[in-house]
Amino acid sequence: MSGESSTVATLGASLRRGVGVPIAVIALLAMVVLPLPPFVLDILFTFNIALSLMIVVAVFSIRRPLEFATFPSVLLVATVFRLALNVASTRVVLMNGHGGSGAAGHVIESFGHFVIGSNFAVGIVVFVILTIINFVVITKGAGRISEVSARFTLDAMPGKQMAIDADLNAGLIDQQEARNRRAEVRAEADFYGSMDGASKFVRGDATAAILILLVNLLGGIAIGPLMHDMSLGDAARVYTTLTIGDGLVAQIPALLLSMAVAVIVTRMSREQDIGAEVARQLVGDPRLIAVAAVILGLLGLIPGMPNIVFLGMAILAAWLARHLQGRELERSREAQRVPLTRPRGEPRDLSWEDLPSVDLIGLEVGYRLVPLVDAEQGGDLMPRIRGVRLKLTQELGFLIPAVHIRDDLELAPNAYRISLSGVPVGEGIVHPERELAIDPGRVFGTIEGLATRDPAFGLDALWIEPALRERAQSFGYTVVDAGTVIATHLGQLVGRNAHELLGHEEVQNLLANLAKSAPKLVEDLVPKILPLGVLVKVLQGLLSERVPIRNLRAILEALAEIAPKTQESSALIAQVRLALARQIVQDIAGLSTELPVITLDAGIEQALSVALTNGASAGIEPGLAERLQTRLAEAVQRQELTGHPSVLLVPPTLRSTLARFLRATVPELHVLAWNEIPDNRRVRLVSTIGQQ
């Protein structure tokens, strides 16, 4: 008994691992060769109809096509199963048809008598019509849609990959989410490519149904009189009944599968409940139903028309339109109903609580952008902003404060404004009903949209309709929604002005966190050797020069070495930059061993050195300062076109001054001192800026 139980358990485990599917395929092929009794055909035909109904229900139940990714394989198996049944039933019909209309089973007999009755011509016409509907209308349309969907999906893959990379670089998603999205893009391309081929199964099946009908009909009429001594009329009656019944039993599941193919390739790739969407878009607008009611009513008033039917349907449509309009008015009243609060008692006196606090990071939006913030209305701006905060926190090395969002009626409806410490630092206009197609410089097609510029990086862009998203991606555009535009712009401004967000409280929290792993270092340095205020200035100075402070231990160790000698912040920052030189160059150039640099000629360096020696950078001649900014901006633009970072290499005595001087006018330029280049990096001179 134990051996039998073990065998059964092993068989069950094998079936659960998917071995049952190959066994089922082999059984289907066996049906083509082995004769089946009529009662087995009844069971298999019934199962075939049930399987087709299950597939149709599954197609309508899924929220997106990729949830039924095995549909092409299921379609292939169902088609082979139905063809195998056709072969098996053809054998039974031709071998046993002389025994009467029940020789091939009760299912075939019932379908034959139900459709044909006593008129063979009607049965043939009905079958031909069903086949034409399946072959010419549904199957042909579904095949064309599958072909076009597969082509556009493959063309849109590079744009979708670029959009994923853009979201990853903006901090909206992490590495795991990026891998999941890339896998989903590949799965979507594989699915629609498979559907392009699988739709040919259904089309071929419809063709085979017509040929099988002709074989059964002509073969039966010939076999009956020649082999079984039947009269021509009896042979025509019996074999026509069996042939039409057999064809209908196979054609109805084929029609259901063709409909399932058409539904799954015509629905949109984004997640949606197709039943709810059809109801909302078709009968959700009372105006559509009202127009239909008016037209039906006019038709019902024409003499000679079926007046009762048309007028009855017009009354029903008018009642439904009135009912839907009443529901819309009720919802609008509920939305506008604001509870009124009346003051009770004497008003309280002013207190310190009435003093408004200044938000470190603020985002103000116009009233049309409020749905982007409201999660109940489907807005996803808050999760995107949390993703930006997480990415900046990990990159910069300190906790980015929360973003306080509020609506502002003084702003334009589609406008937003970003402020730091109560001071606006950026603003823009977005269209929530559209998507932004950004031109990264490699676009090879044109598309309709509202011309604009990406507010974060200033690239040329277009506000396009959501339906044009895949087309724009296939042309090379990076397409993002309005929420991503705002979140990316916010992240770019916060990263550029991160030094304004770091204060005494944040630095104290950083020290407390580091004290868990290096308590002696923190205890001996702050505040015994270095006051907390000086440390704050040093860390702010590093952030203002785009140097992350995530390696706080190395920063404090460098400060512990020089702090006993000087408390001047610029000297402390220079010492810390030397300690972080490898990290600084790594963030700029990545893993490349070669660092392309821009230098100043000896005349400019001497002029700047003299100005600094005299005590102020204001001694630089204005014309020279303007030419220097212009030449450096042109050099940075040339470097961006080649895809390389822009680095200005100067003497250590000039680095700090030039970094502050160029920060506002040429923000993309990194200013490094000679002694900040690690030994494992080679310097390659790309241009020299002269006075002329």
Positive or negative: CA dihedral 163, 164, 167, 169: negative
CATH number, residue 604: 3.40.50.12790
Greater confidence (510 vs 38) lies with: 510
Domain for residue 561, yes or no?
no
| pLDDT score for 512 | 92
Question: Of 465, 499, 533, which marks where a domain is finished?
Answer: 499
Q: State mean pLDDT over 436-463.
A: 90
Query: Both 288 and 261 in a single domain?
Result: no
Does one domain contain both 95 and 134?
yes
Are 446 and 321 members of one domain? no
Q: What is the pLDDT of residue 172?
A: 67
Task: Tell me, yes or no, whether 507 lies in a domain.
Answer: no
Residue 123: both structure tokens together: 């049965």
Domain membership flag for residue 554:
no
Which of these three, 226, 247, 272, is where a domain ends?
A: 272
Split at pLDDT 50, 70, 90, the class of 64 is confident
pLDDT band (50, 70, 90) for residue 2 = very low
Residue 218 burial (CB count, 10 A): 12
Task: Give a yes or no: residue 409 inside a domain.
Answer: yes
pLDDT, position 497: 93
- Identify whether residues 427 and 477 lie together within a single domain: yes
Residue 13: pLDDT above 60? no
Residue type, 158: P
Cite the DSSP H helix spans in 99-174: 106-116, 120-132, 140-169
Across 422-439, average pLDDT: 93
Q: Indicate if 362 and 315 belong to the same structural domain.
A: no
User: How many whole angstroms from its chain centre is CA 224?
Assistant: 62
322 shares a domain with 463: no
Provide the number of structural domains found in the chain: 4
Nearest to 228 by CA among 100, 41, 113, 104: 100
Q: Are residues 165 and 54 in the same domain?
A: yes
Q: How confident is the model at residue 539 (pLDDT cuts 50, 70, 90)?
A: very high
Cα 668 to Cα 646: distance, rounded to the nearest angstrom: 7
Q: Is the dihedral of CA 227, 231, 233, 234 positive or negative?
A: negative
pLDDT for residue 90: 78
313 and 217 part of one domain:
no
Looking at the fold, whether 91 and 207 belong to one and the same domain comes out as yes
The reply to whether 640 falls in a domain is: yes
pLDDT in tens, 315-373: 888 888 888 777 777 766 665 554 444 455 556 667 777 677 788 999 999 999 999 98
Pair 307, 373 in one domain = no
pLDDT digits (tens, 9 = 90+) for 195-210: 777 777 777 777 777 7
Domain residues for 234?
A: 19-272
Tell me whether residue 547 is in a domain.
no
- Whether 569 is covered by a domain: the verdict is no
Q: Residue 68: which pLDDT band, with cuts at 50, 70 and 90?
A: confident
Does pLDDT of 590 surpass 80?
Answer: yes
Angle at 273 between CA 270 and CA 279, to 5 degrees: 120
| 124-170 confidence digits (pLDDT tens) | 777 777 777 777 777 777 777 777 777 777 776 777 777 777 777 66
In this structure, are residues 420 and 494 in contact, taking their beta carbons and an 8 Å threshold?
A: yes
- Domain boundary among the residues 499, 532, 551 is at 499
Which SS3 state, helix, strand or coil, does residue 374 take?
coil
pLDDT above 70 coverage of the chain, percent: 84
Kindly state whether residues 247 and 125 are assigned to the same domain.
Answer: yes
Q: Is residue 241 part of a domain?
A: yes
266/403 same-domain check: no
Residue 490 pLDDT class (50, 70, 90 cuts): very high
For the chain, give the mean pLDDT: 81
Q: Which of 251-255, 420-424, 687-691 has the highest mean pLDDT?
A: 420-424
